Amino acid sequence: MPYFKFLPPDGTVRHVMMNQPARYLPIGGTFTQHVLRGPSPFTVAERELIAAYVSGLNQCQYCHGAHKAFAVDNGVDPDLFESLMTDIDAAPVDKKMRPVLRYAKKLTLSPARMAQTDADAVFAAGWDEQALGDVVAVTALFNFFNRIVEGHGVRGSDAIWTRAAKMIRETGYESFLKEAAQRAARPAE
C-alpha cells in the first residue's frame, strides 16, 4: 500500500511523477528516454537487463519487475534473472556482459570502492568509454528510481508491467510520461 494519500492503491511510478511533473519529468522522461533508448553501444535489451539487475540488487520489487518485463519484451530470456541475481559467472549471460554487470553491482552496493581495475575489466571485455559511461548512467538512474519508488511505497504486478512494457515499446519513456502529464493537467469534465 502506498505511503502517500495522492497515490491510488495500485499506484505506479507514473502516478508519482504526475503528482509533481516539473520535478520528475526531466529525469523520468527525457533523461530516461536518452539513457535507455538513445544511441549506445548497448542494445535496448542489455540496458533494460542492467536496469532490472540493479533494481534486483536494491530489492526494489516494482522496478525489478518492470524492467525485467521490459527486458523480456526486448528478447531477454525470462529465466536469466534468477540465476543472475545468484551468480553472474554461472548465469547464462553473454561473457562480454559479465564485467558490465559486476561494475553495476559494485557501483550499486559499494560505490566508494570503485577502482580503475573495475573500469579496466569492462574495457578488456571490448567495451569503450561510451559504454562504461552508459553503465554508470543506467546504474545511477535506477539507484535513483529505486529509492523514489520504495520511498513512496509503490508496488507492482505482472499486469501493470506487461501493460507498461507495451506502452514503452510503442511510445518510449518520454512520450509515455508527457502524455500522462498532459492528461493530468486537463480540467475535469
For residue range 4-60, list pLDDT tens digits in order. 999 999 888 888 988 998 898 889 888 999 999 999 999 999 999 999 999 999 999
Indicate the SS3 state at residue 154: coil
The pLDDT value given to residue 184: 57
Domains, in order of start, for the chain: 42-171 (1.20.1290.10)
DSSP state of 58: T
From residue 90, alpha-carbon distances to 85, 94, 141 in Å are 10, 11, 26
**Which pLDDT tens digit goes with each residue over 73-104?**
999 999 999 999 999 999 999 999 999 999 99
pTM, two decimal places: 0.91
In total, the chain counts a number of residues equal to 189
User: Would the pLDDT of 188 be above 70?
Assistant: no
